[in-house]
Amino acid sequence: MNSLAINTTLNDRISAFAKAGSLLNSFLKQEPTTATAAIEAAFYKAQSKNSWFTDENLNHAFEQWALALTVETLTSWTNAYNLEDINSKVVAIITAGNLPLVGFHDVLSVIITGHHAMIINSSNDDVLTPMLLQLATDYLPELSQSYSYNDGRLTGYDAVIATGSDNTARYFEYYFDSKPHIIRKNRNSIAVLTGTETIEHMEALSKDVFNYFGLGCRSVSHLMVPRNYNFDLFFNGMFKQQHLIKNEKYVNNYDYNKAVYLMSEFDLLDNEFLLIKEENDSYSSPIASLGYSYYDDINDVAKQIKIDADKLQCVVAQGEIAKTIKATLGDLTAPAVVDFGTTQCPMLNDYADGVDTVNFLLTLS
């Protein structure tokens, strides 16, 4: 692998990305800056290219990155690693496009560690990452040597980080077999309920279910509930997201899936904007629906989660159940066991699939 000369320091890069974060924060607060027009243009262009990128979802993504891109947060994150004497390599990044800025963490990880990011943006989200990188580069022009874009055949790269479906992951594994790589596949997130939750828990869970319309691997797509569980409180909590039924794409999916389920004579629970049905064979579910399965013993739940660890990104749980699941998972780095309402609020060190991206990048030097 060939080394590159990156003419910036770690502190330079932290300052540049922190500046981008502060500009995002000002945009969200409607405080005019020199970057307001550029951010606003990217905001609406991204929406025009992907109608799942609503105001609500874009604002949530911007809020999370504004919180992450501060000097304090970036410094705390990078202090956990030895980032001295990095021999810079070219790392190809093939991003997903299901959520706004979903691939930016990989881009940030590559650049912040002193490598060069060769970015292959998904056509579903090819506006926001360039915008955010440009904000950082306007502050630190030398940062431009730390990234490039590739729309064609990949050449001249030393390592790969690729995210896709299970099918594309098989192709990636074959194609990039000779290079150091991280290949991510489909994962889902689940919630383990006990029946002792409060309405506040359920309203928080509604964010885990409905943020980004449930399109992310951190979105809860399946419930594990005790036998004879009463779903009334759950549906009361979900009611907080009823406005989604006004979204044309969402309601089209709701209507379509409801028709399919009814024709298949599935037993459904329905609150007029969310369908749930018993599902014992899969953790995934279509838009506007959730699967659920019953359990009798929480220890059996914890064991099943460990068996299916490579299928899961997050497990929402509280109290003793959360402790039991964590103890059963032991040293496994995924899935993460998280609080209600937090699945779509990851920190910089909450790595997808539990694979430490920075540690991987350090092995390249």
pLDDT of residue 248: 95
pLDDT of residue 2: 54
Q: Are 303 and 289 in contact (CB under 8 A)?
A: no
pLDDT of residue 154: 87
Q: How many domains are there within the chain?
A: 2
**pTM reported for the whole predicted model:** 0.95
Is residue 258 domain-resident? yes
Q: Is 226 exposed, middle or buried (0-12, 13-18, 19+ CB in 10 A)?
A: middle
Does 165 score more than 90 pLDDT? no
Other CB atoms within a 10 A radius of the CB of residue 59 amount to 14
CATH number of the structural domain spanning residue 127: 3.40.605.10
**Between 268 and 152, whose confidence is greater?**
268
Whether 163 and 251 share a structural domain: no
Is residue 114 domain-resident? yes
Enter the tokens of residue 95. 């991003």
In this prediction, residues 227-241 reach a mean pLDDT of 96
pLDDT of residue 33: 96
Whether 32 and 134 share a structural domain: yes
Reported as a single tens digit per residue, the pLDDT across 261-284 is: 999 888 899 999 999 999 999 999
Does 207 score more than 60 pLDDT? yes
For the chain, percent of residues with pLDDT exceeding 90? 91
**The Cα angle at residue 10 between residues 356 and 105, in degrees rounded to 5:** 35
Whether 199 and 331 share a structural domain: yes
Is residue 353 domain-resident? no
pLDDT of residue 208: 98
- Cα radius of gyration rounded to whole Å, the chain: 21
List the domain range (segments joined by +) for residue 312.
188-338
Whether 64 and 41 share a structural domain: yes
CATH number of the structural domain spanning residue 314: 3.40.309.10
DSSP states of 301-361 as a string? HHHHHHHTGGGEEEEE--HHHHHHHHHHHTT---SEEE-TT-TT---TT--GGG--HHHHH
In this prediction, residues 168-177 reach a mean pLDDT of 87
Whether 16 and 128 share a structural domain: yes
Chain center to CA of 225:
25
Does 1 score more than 60 pLDDT? no
In this prediction, residues 168-189 reach a mean pLDDT of 91
For the chain, percent of residues with pLDDT exceeding 70? 99
Cα distances from 319 to residues 228, 236, 359, in angstroms, run 21, 22, 31
Reported as a single tens digit per residue, the pLDDT across 309-328 is: 999 999 999 999 999 999 99
Chain center to CA of 288:
19
pLDDT of residue 57: 97
| Mean pLDDT over the full length of the chain | 95
Whether 157 and 17 share a structural domain: yes
Whether 176 and 305 share a structural domain: no
